[in-house]
Amino acid sequence: MTARVGDHAPLGVFDSGLGGLTVVRALRNAFPNESLIYLGDTARVPYGTRSPETIVRYARACARVLVERGVKALVVACNTVSAIALDLLRAELDLPVLGVVEPGALSAVRALERWVARAGRVPDDSRPLRIGVLGTASTIASGAYPRAVARLSTRYEVVGQAAPLLVPLVEEGWTDGEVPRLVVRRYVEPRIDPGPRGPVPGCTHYPLLESVITEVAADLAGTPVPVVDSAVATAEAVGEALREARIPGAPLTTDARLEIFVTDRPQSFTGVAQRFLGADLGSVEQIDLVSS
């Protein structure tokens, strides 16, 4: 499949559900003139508990829908798909394909470097700096984050924690209050120990819980803990990839549009998405991946 590389072609973004909107928000901030097509595979969320074979099948179906709509680059705004199927999508598609794991690893390393610079020294130089990753079961089992962090530096150690219950909480719009706080605490508590660390929400749904994660992690650690997400670094990587592939950006005069497709009834998605992205949410249309 080949990209339509005209400057008016949109960027394509997909996730299993709402989580990828965290990446859409960063892309809209970074590229206000670019049109975006977002696909949330709400009929099949969650992806994070599925087998690698199933995740690959779902990823191919999502990618096909977006490529057929003429996107100039594909952003896999899902850690699970990025961890399992990114190389395959890159090999199969003739357009830039960006994932969120590498930008997430980069954000974590940058956050820890800032932490160390502020602290002035590393508390114990003999121990690697720890990065906690909260992800879906598939993302954690894939080892994608430890690999991505190791490619950047050997100074860091990744401690992964699968946190599958956080995905349905976000899909339900339960992003604050006692219930998410207790669930986050249950996942984070066994992973908190002394020493600098930056928990990375290794699932694009989790930044919607950022304030709860920040509060619980600081409470457990007894000190503020940097919590980072990959959205802004992903937008930077998209910009770089477009420049490298010499794909033109949208002209300043473009009336940038956001088109949203989901694979199940749009009602509850629209409510949470509206709250998250603000009033200028575009249309939300239901499609069928198999027949589209």
Looking at the annotation, which residues are catalytic? Answer: 78, 203
If one asks whether residue 234 binds ligand DGL (CB under 6 A), the answer comes out as no
Amino acid at 273: A
Show the tokens assigned to 126. 């003999």
Q: Please, which residue, 46 or 196, has the CB nearer to ligand DGL?
A: 46
If one asks whether residue 48 binds ligand DGL (CB under 6 A), the answer comes out as yes
If one asks whether residue 21 binds ligand DGL (CB under 6 A), the answer comes out as no
Q: How far is the CB of 34 from ligand DGL (least distance, A)?
A: 22
Which residue sits closest to ligand DGL, CB atoms considered? 48
Between CA 151 and CA 139, with CA 157 as vertex, the angle to 5 degrees is: 75
Q: Are 77 and 37 in contact (CB under 8 A)?
A: no
Measure the CA–CA gap between 54 and 56, rounded to whole angstroms. Answer: 5
If one asks whether residue 167 binds ligand DGL (CB under 6 A), the answer comes out as yes
Amino acid at 203: C
Find the Cα–Cα–Cα–Cα dihedral 38, 40, 41, 47, rounded to 10°: 120
Q: Which stretch binds ligand DGL (CB under 6 A): 30-38, 72-80, 104-112, 220-228?
A: 72-80
If one asks whether residue 45 binds ligand DGL (CB under 6 A), the answer comes out as yes
Q: Please, which residue, 48 or 226, has the CB nearer to ligand DGL?
A: 48
Q: Which of residues 139-158 bind ligand DGL (CB under 6 A)?
A: 139
Measure the CA–CA gap between 260 and 66, rounded to whole angstroms. Answer: 11
Phi, psi of 15 (to 5 degrees): -155, 175
Q: How far is the CB of 50 from ligand DGL (least distance, A)?
A: 8
Q: How far is the CB of 137 from ligand DGL (least distance, A)?
A: 8
Q: Which stretch binds ligand DGL (CB under 6 A): 44-52, 109-117, 248-256, 266-274?
A: 44-52
Q: Please, which residue, 133 or 203, has the CB nearer to ligand DGL?
A: 203
Q: How far is the CB of 205 from ligand DGL (least distance, A)?
A: 4
If one asks whether residue 47 binds ligand DGL (CB under 6 A), the answer comes out as yes
Q: Which stretch binds ligand DGL (CB under 6 A): 39-47, 141-149, 246-254, 271-279?
A: 39-47
Q: Are 256 and 34 in contact (CB under 8 A)?
A: yes
Residue 90 buriedness (CB in 10 A; 0-12 / 13-18 / 19+): middle
Q: Are 71 and 10 in contact (CB under 8 A)?
A: yes
Three-state SS annotation for 73-124: EEEECCHHHHHHHHHHHHHHCECCEECCHHHHHHHHHHHHHHHHHHHCCCCC
Among 203, 209, 225, 250, binds ligand DGL (CB under 6 A): 203
3-state helix, strand, coil in the chain (%, to 5): 45, 15, 40
If one asks whether residue 207 binds ligand DGL (CB under 6 A), the answer comes out as no
Q: What is the binding site for ligand DGL (CB under 6 A)?
A: 15-16, 19, 45-48, 78-80, 136, 139, 167, 203-205
